[in-house]
Amino acid sequence: MIEKTDVVIIGAGPVGLFAIFELGLLNISCHVIDNLDKPGGQCAELYPEKPIYDIPSRVSISGQELTDDLLAQAKPFKPVYHLSQQVEKIEKLESGEWLIMTSVNKSIKAKCIVIAAGAGSFVPRKLPISDIAHLEEKNIL
Ligand SMILES: Cc1cc2nc3c(=O)[nH]c(=O)nc-3n(C[C@H](O)[C@H](O)[C@H](O)COP(=O)(O)OP(=O)(O)OC[C@H]3O[C@@H](n4cnc5c(N)ncnc54)[C@H](O)[C@@H]3O)c2cc1C
């Protein structure tokens, strides 16, 4: 099944999250795709507790607080999040729309794409051991 939306935002870092708000003000709905299992990009993944001092109007705010505030600011516009999946393919359709396909075989049709991919897609660094793929997503005791 192909989902449809006005805009697909690639990346749920601070730029992608604020884009939801800005688009929402213009009555433009969006879906947001991120390879991480949670929104926030570098702020939530790499430094949730580190203080940030260069956000206007905030004397100090942590990476997670900034993420939580951006999520709250975006929430009224009802974004649809597609987490834990990487955008792998983008096709321009004859209709002029875009078809965005992800690593879990999700397809979304959109009129426009916002690329907010920041430092790139976060992917786990795998153990350099052959024949280990069958153990992925499993606990090893
Ligand atoms: C340790 C550290 C401290 C920092 N401290 C500060 C600070 O104090 N002040 C400051 O202003 N900046 C700071 N920065 C920089 C700041 O975090 C970045 O500038 C900011 O996160 C960029 O936001 P972004 O939304 O553009 O990208 P990112 O935060 O990089 O988010 C991009 C998101 O896109 C996703 N993505 C990318 N490609 C794909 C794809 N193909 N499919 C699916 N998902 C994809 C990624 O998984 C990621 O979640 C710091 C950075 C680090 C590492």
State which of 10, 42, 105 you would mutate to test the pocket of ligand 1, scoring each by most atoms of that ligand within 8 A of its C-beta.
42
* Whole-number Å distance between alpha carbons of 94 and 108: 15
Give the domain extent around 64.
2-135
Q: Find out whether 25 and 74 touch, Cβ atoms under 8 Å.
A: no
In a domain, residue 140? The reply is: no
Report if residue 25 sits inside a domain.
yes
Question: Mean pLDDT of all residues in the chain?
Answer: 95
Q: Find the 118 Cα to ligand 1 centroid distance in Å.
A: 5
* CATH number of the domain where residue 47 is located: 3.50.50.60
CA of 30 to the centre of ligand 1 (A): 20
pLDDT at residue number 127 = 86
Ligand 1 centroid – CA 94 distance (Å): 33
Residue 7 lies in a domain: yes
| Amino acid 16: pLDDT | 98
Q: So what's the pLDDT on residue 42?
A: 96
Which contacts qualify for 21-30: CB closer than 8 Å, 24 or more apart? 21/70, 21/73, 21/74, 21/77, 23/77, 23/114, 24/74, 24/76, 24/77, 24/79, 29/5, 29/77, 29/78, 29/79, 30/5, 30/6, 30/77, 30/79, 30/80, 30/114
Q: Say yes or no to pLDDT of 141 above 80.
A: no
- Residue 55 placed within a domain: yes
Give mean pLDDT, residues 105-122.
95
Helix (H, G, I), strand (E, B) or coil at 125: coil
Which tens digits make up the pLDDT trace of 7-53? 999 999 999 999 999 999 999 999 999 999 999 999 999 999 999 99
CA atoms within 13 A on the CB side of 99: 10
Q: Does 71 or 130 have the greater pLDDT score?
A: 71
Q: Tell me the C-alpha to C-alpha distance, in Å, between residue 2 and each of 8, 43, 70, 101, 109.
A: 13, 31, 28, 10, 7
pLDDT tens digits along 69-111: 999 999 999 999 999 999 999 999 999 999 999 999 999 999 9
